[in-house]
A = this chain, B = another copy of it.
Amino acid sequence: MQIETIIQEKKLKLTAARKEILELFIDSQKPLSYDDIKESISMDKATFYRNISKFETESILHSFESNDKKRYYEITGTPHAHFICKECNSIECLEESINLKIKNHTVHDILIKGICQKCMG
């Protein structure tokens, strides 16, 4: 996944901030919040959120609200559901695809909440 290619395809300017953000998300195996990465990036949070916003409208990233009031972002790739632990707030990408249809509705995401293995003791 080439950052320059992604940016050029969407006709966006390739800035240092955008490179930093995309590198982080491309390398990450799980969704990240601003809070997760604020120490690893050098831009202002306004810049972070404005770029995230643009990446979302361009479908480069997508996001969901977790249980902890934070929004989590990840690269748009193979669609998959997420498991959120209500106890430790950890998020797992579920690779096993869930086939789910609801008539008169278009399903985009599935979030499953419960207790993860660690927290079950």
Contacts and interface: CB of A to CB of B under 8 A. Distances in A.
Copies of this protein chain in the complex: 2
A113 B115 CA distance: 21
Interface residues of A, number: 26
Interface in A33-90: 64-67, 69, 83, 86
A98 B99 CA distance: 11
Given A69-B69, A106-B115, 4 more contacts: A65-B67, A102-B112, A104-B117, A104-B120
Interface of A: 64-67, 69, 83, 86, 94, 98, 100, 102, 104-117, 120
A112 to B, nearest CB: 6
Nearest to A94: B102
